[in-house]
Structure 1
Amino acid sequence: MTDFLQLPSLRTLSVTDSGDAYTIEAESTQSLQQCPGCQGARLYRHGAQPQTYRDAPSHGKPVRIQILRRRYRCLDCKQTAFDPIPDLDGKRRATTRLVAFVCARSFSQTFAAVAREAALDAKTVRQIFADHVARLSQQVRFETPRVLGIDELKIIGAYRAMITNVEHKSIFDLRASRSKADLLTYFKNLPDKDRIQWVTMDMYDVYRQVVRATLPQARIVVDRFHIQRMANEVLEKLRKNLRTTLPERERLKLKDERFLLLKRQHDLDPLPMQQLDAWFDRFPQLNRAHALKEGFLSIWDAHSRADAEARFKVWRGHIDPELQEGFKALTTAMRNWYEEVFSYFDNRITNAYTESANSLTRLMHRMGRGYSFEVLRARMLYDERARQATRRILETAARREDTVGMAYFTRATARSRVAERRIIEYGPSIEVLVRQLEAGDFE
């Protein structure tokens, strides 16, 4: 008959099914051979003690194991000890299998849901997960990115810094603070920081100061969508101001034309373009602002940095006095971030995946209300399936020296190459995390 528990160090004696749970009577398959205190071998049986442990659910039911555990006393040092059962966790009344079950489930379910499934207290689940995360933080190291993305998000009452590996579309880290002092310390102590060649970010000057101070070799690229959005915001503000001057029916119509105004003109069909032309005939200022928006966005259609800079110079000269105030924030940003904006044309990277990671984190936070920042960070960084998607194995080969002759050497080395394998982790894949979220794996 198959042993119910299937644990090497325990033997099932009986199984009781109460309908909503299993109770297992078991005994140890091993006996104590050496005193854990003095390492002596002069031991004798010193009674037994009943103990109860929780095991991972089976057939959807909680499992409780009852063990009459043998106790021994050392004749030399008089110390007592129980028979060894490696399948039991050394910190709590649970099997190592249950601890592994809780750790795995806690990455995709709330602590309350895991607690119900395993018949544990939610506090116990939280403690098991915290211990697991502490081990992971010591064991798991992500390769420092060549192209790094940095952005901020506000969750659990504070602004946090999201750091990504742009090339591998993965999360590198999620920091508790985006403050300058914290980020300076973080990047100053970052292992292999000289690997970082590019950093993409929005126009938050603290990030630029931190990168210049700690990563002098890295070039900064402003995310193109942040600067382009400023041109759309100018047009949006003008549209809203015009709506206040219109009767209700036309006000609603101009509200509906918002997406036509923001869409690139070359992507519009003839009919929508005619709708816009009707507004442009009535409001020449809207027409000029729209043309400036289109002209600004066309800078990123350039094939080279020189072409892009030339287009910007022409565009800036076409801002008429009536619209200069509206475009002031944009022209100021271009002046203050000129080098970082046009560095895009030297390496066309964006911060889009960092933005995706931010959105993902916010959704996970909403689904796991009550989680601390540390728990949320752990669920983002240490998800096994997401990490596996970007994991790489590098192999290097070693050869023997030629001691007999070239002919022998050629044959021997073909057989005796010793491959050294190194596992490299680039961080959890953002795309895999998004797919898991969409599939409901984090509910």
Structure 2
Amino acid sequence: METSPVACRTLEEFYHIESHTFEKQYKESLSGYRDWDQLGHADEWLLFSDNIGPRLAIDESSLSNGELYTFVTNRDARTRERSLVAVVAGTKSEDVTAVLLRIDEEKRNAVEEVTLDLSDSMRKIVRTAFPKAGRVIDRFHIQKLACDAVQELRIKHRWDAIQQANDEMEEAGMCGKDYVPFRYPNGDTRKELLIRSRYLLFKSADKWTDRQKQRAEILFEEYPDIQKAYGLCHSLRMIFSKNTIKDAARLSMARWYNKMEEAGIHSFNVIAATFHGHYDEILNFYNNRSSNAMAESFNAKIKLFRANLRGVADKKFFLFRIANLYAYPQ
């Protein structure tokens, strides 16, 4: 059974105890925090080399005030006990690598696969610390890039629509007329069409409501470049969704890349550069269909615990509690 972190304020609500007093007693006497063997360097790094496994994930997370820490987790532990392998302050590759190199070389060489995002520093960390492991770029980060490119194009047209409306309003005022904005058959103005199309562009067409279908039809007729970008984004999603072999995926990806270049959409230039630099690591997804979902789940648990505490006042003690939950056997 999975253990969930509990804040002292929660106990105060249910058991009518004074939370600040209990929190202090728990920290100083009940928890074993002062006898913790990693207390001296806890705000800089934590290492639990016994938790390492053949399939790892590496990601970054914020503890407080946007201060980032790098987390390495064992994917097979599924964000439960003994899932935490290492925590290092910051994302600098040299700092994280120095901590991971404390793990026995034999254990590090036994790592077969590491999932990560598009960060070059994470890539360098994995390449140095786990030299025999295959690196898998998380498919959802690639899909997010494509979705962001579509939204960037929509936002560009939205700003143009706002400027056009302002110009028309100014012109009507100069002519002493009331400004009446142009409206499409569904009742949207140009600005409203582009604002209200945001969510439908994230969804597959077969999941659109009737109103969204009508809005999409108007949007694509008015802005064919958005339709083209949406089509590219959707076809990329379908490539990842198909249960296919790596060689077939390579061919599909190459065809998609050619379509993207032919489209000539500026907002897709970042994706083109990403594909060029990470092509093999993106395709490694098809070896085991691995993703960084476990790392994202671990991040979500940290954020929830942080929210329950209403912020992190003592980073060392916060990390101690995280370690108790996810690094040691229950």
TM bin, normalised by shorter chain, reads 0.7 to 0.9
1:229 aligns with 2:144: yes
The whole-number CA distance in structure 2 between the counterparts of 1:250 and 1:121 is 55
The whole-number CA distance in structure 2 between the counterparts of 1:371 and 1:320 is 49
For the structure 1 residues 361 and 134, does the alpha-carbon distance in structure 2 shift closer, same or farther, using more than 3 Å as the test? Answer: same
Identity %: 19
SS in 2 for 1:371: coil
SS in 2 for 1:145: coil
Q: TM-score, normalised by structure 2?
A: 0.74
Contact 2:9/2:19 (8 A) holds in 1: no
Q: How does 1:311-326 map to 2 (within 5 A)?
A: 311-319=252-260, 323-326=264-267
Deviation at 1:233, TM superposition (A): 0.6
The whole-number CA distance in structure 2 between the counterparts of 1:214 and 1:159 is 20
Contact 2:64/2:312 (8 A) holds in 1: no
The amino acid across from 2:74 in the alignment is N
Structure with larger RCO (C-alpha < 8 A, sep 6+): 2
1:347 aligns with 2:288: yes
Q: How does 1:128-139 map to 2 (within 5 A)?
A: 128=29, 129=31, 130-131=33-34, 133-134=36-37
SS in 2 for 1:319: helix
SS in 2 for 1:327: helix
The amino acid across from 2:313 in the alignment is Y
Aligned to 2:52: 144
Q: Which runs of no fewer than 5 residues in structure 1 stay unpaired? A: 1-105, 388-424, 429-443
Deviation at 1:159, TM superposition (A): 1.2
Aligned pair partner of 1:169 in 43, 57, 78: 78
The amino acid across from 1:149 in the alignment is A
Aligned to 2:18: 116
List structure 1 segments (4+ residues) > 4 angstroms apart after TM superposition: 110-115, 117-121, 135-138
1:255 aligns with 2:195: yes
SS in 1 for 2:114: strand
Aligned to 1:127: 28
The amino acid across from 1:190 in the alignment is I
The whole-number CA distance in structure 2 between the counterparts of 1:120 and 1:291 is 57
Contact 2:193/2:219 (8 A) holds in 1: no
SS in 2 for 1:258: coil
Deviation at 1:310, TM superposition (A): 1.0
Aligned to 1:289: 229
Aligned length: 282
| Greater strand share, structure number | 1
The amino acid across from 1:116 in the alignment is E
Q: How does 1:42-57 map to 2 (within 5 A)?
A: none
Q: TM-score, normalised by structure 1?
A: 0.57
1:377 aligns with 2:286: no
Aligned to 1:401: none
SS in 1 for 2:76: coil
The whole-number CA distance in structure 1 between the counterparts of 2:267 and 2:49 is 47
The amino acid across from 2:108 in the alignment is K
Deviation at 1:266, TM superposition (A): 4.1
Contact 1:280/1:287 (8 A) holds in 2: yes
Q: How does 1:194-209 map to 2 (within 5 A)?
A: 194-209=109-124
SS in 2 for 1:337: helix
What's the Cα RMSD here?
3.3
